[in-house]
Amino acid sequence: SKITLTVIKADVGGFVGHTDVHPELLEIAKKHLKEKGKMLIDFHVTRVGDDIELIMTHRKGIDNEEVHKLAWDALWSCGEKAKELKLYGAGQDLLKDSFSGNIKGLGPGVAEMEIEERKSEPVIIFMADKTEPGAWNLPLYKMFADPFNTVGLVIDPNMHQGFKFEVYDMIGHKKIIFETPEDIYDMLVFIGATGRYCIRRVYTKNNEIAAVSSTQRMNFMAGKYIGKDDPVLIVRCQNGLPAVGEALEPFANPYLVAGWMRGSHNGPMIPVSLEDAVLTRFDGPPRVCALGFQLAEGKLIGPQDFFKDVAFDNAREKALEIADYIRKMGPFEPHRLPLEELEYTTLPHVAEKLQGRWEE
């Protein structure tokens, strides 16, 4: 029968500030999944920056109430501990008081896929902090549509026909399927606008799921702007899909993403090991971790902490140079995000104060 891989994540309080998760919270999450997660085949709990990541496998399919409730309750227990320890922003991503059927819309981020496990099933869980779901657009494009990144698109007969991209409009709340390579110029018009259009899923031309991202956009939830949702992404690899190294390759260039301090700045995405995923400088810079697993009848064999590799040292060094450079711009765009994308804004307040001082 089919296996479902579900990743659910939330920030339920930072230790200290927005930099990290307190280890006691991770223990609570593990204990909860171990004791209450009878329906799971396996799980792995980790964190990147101030976000708790629950990686789970089961046979219940996507959007399963039992699995979502298990994750919600685990995160809720972590939130209670966060309040007790007075961690920063305790309960931040738990927007509702009670669970109602599906965790989507309640605050946590969700990425899940139901798959027929192949003879060998390598998967990568990418997890980022201090950025937003659109941050996956550029690497997903490179992995699945750019032959200068993924040579398999040229030389592997199982990849040569290309892929399908499901792109979601987070403001218009609608989706479109682009076929690559045929539609790449059309698709790039949209996915280059990372604050609005988000690659939610990638499929093979035979409609096999290849990648899925968390797309809930926190900043428009509950009718107000409450912050960017630090995103996760699941990518299946090999055998007609990008090789593990092709899926990791886009992160060798530290591209710019929105997020960082107060969710209101552009900065370089730094690929790091879990050990280096405590975000301090100007609450960042934005960070991405990649954990590899081999699935074996749903068991999570791993993880392999990919960005530990020295092969990403140059990317890190370059990212730090970019960070030095762009930080010098202080509150000026394009380091600071344009007004409509700021997580915080004093504009109405300042504008009101200055009323009467503006002249024609």
Kindly list the residues in this chain that would bind ligand 13P in the complex (CB under 6 A).
Answer: 11, 18, 49-50, 129-130, 227, 230, 243, 245, 261-263, 283
User: Which of residues 18 and 335 has its CB atom nearest to ligand 13P in the complex?
Assistant: 18
Q: Dig out the tokens for 169 from the structure.
A: 């409009």
User: Which of residues 37 and 268 has its CB atom nearest to Mg ion in the complex?
Assistant: 268
**Strand bridging mode 287-296 / 270-271:** parallel
User: Taking CB within 5 to 8 Å according to partner kind, which of ligand 13P, Mg ion, none is near residue 262?
Assistant: ligand 13P
User: Which of residues 23 and 245 has its CB atom nearest to ligand 13P in the complex?
Assistant: 245
Compute the distance between CA of residue 45 and CA of residue 253 in angstroms, rounded to an integer: 28
Q: Does 14 bind Mg ion (CB under 5 A)?
A: yes
Residue 38 contacts by C-beta under 8 Å, 6 or more apart in sequence? none
User: Taking CB within 5 to 8 Å according to partner kind, which of ligand 13P, Mg ion, none is near residue 243?
Assistant: ligand 13P
Q: Does 129 bind Mg ion (CB under 5 A)?
A: yes
DSSP notation for 168-209: EETTTTEEEEEEETTTHHHHHHHHT-TTTEEEEEEEETT--E
User: Which of residues 138 and 237 has its CB atom nearest to ligand 13P in the complex?
Assistant: 237
Q: How many residues does the chain have?
A: 360
Q: Does 343 bind Mg ion (CB under 5 A)?
A: no
Query: At its nearest, how many Å lie between Mg ion and the CB of residue 92?
Result: 6
Q: Does 50 bind Mg ion (CB under 5 A)?
A: yes
Q: Does 11 bind Mg ion (CB under 5 A)?
A: yes
Query: At its nearest, how many Å lie between Mg ion and the CB of residue 261?
Result: 10
Find the residue with minimal CB distance to ligand 13P. 283
User: Which of residues 243 and 269 has its CB atom nearest to ligand 13P in the complex?
Assistant: 243
Q: What Cα–Cα distance (Å) separates residue 43 from each residue in 53, 150, 186, 246?
A: 10, 30, 39, 26
User: Taking CB within 5 to 8 Å according to partner kind, which of ligand 13P, Mg ion, none is near residue 245?
Assistant: ligand 13P
Compute the distance between CA of residue 200 and CA of residue 186 in angstroms, rounded to an integer: 17
Compute the distance between CA of residue 182 and CA of residue 164 in angstroms, rounded to an integer: 10
In the set 5, 7, 8, 18, which binds Mg ion (CB under 5 A)? 18
- Coil, helix or strand for 292? strand
Q: Active-site residues: which are they?
A: 11, 225, 228
Which residues from 75-94 bind Mg ion, rule CB under 5 A? Answer: 89
Compute the distance between CA of residue 228 and CA of residue 17 in angstroms, rounded to an integer: 16
- CB burial of residue 175 (10 Å; 0-12, 13-18, 19+): middle
User: Which of residues 64 and 214 has its CB atom nearest to Mg ion in the complex?
Assistant: 214
Q: Are 37 and 70 in contact (CB under 8 A)?
A: yes
In the set 32, 47, 217, 228, which binds Mg ion (CB under 5 A)? 228
Query: At its nearest, how many Å lie between ligand 13P and the CB of residue 238?
Result: 8
Query: At its nearest, how many Å lie between ligand 13P and the CB of residue 50?
Result: 5
Compute the distance between CA of residue 282 and CA of residue 72 in angstroms, rounded to an integer: 30
User: Taking CB within 5 to 8 Å according to partner kind, which of Mg ion, ligand 13P, none is near residue 283?
Assistant: ligand 13P
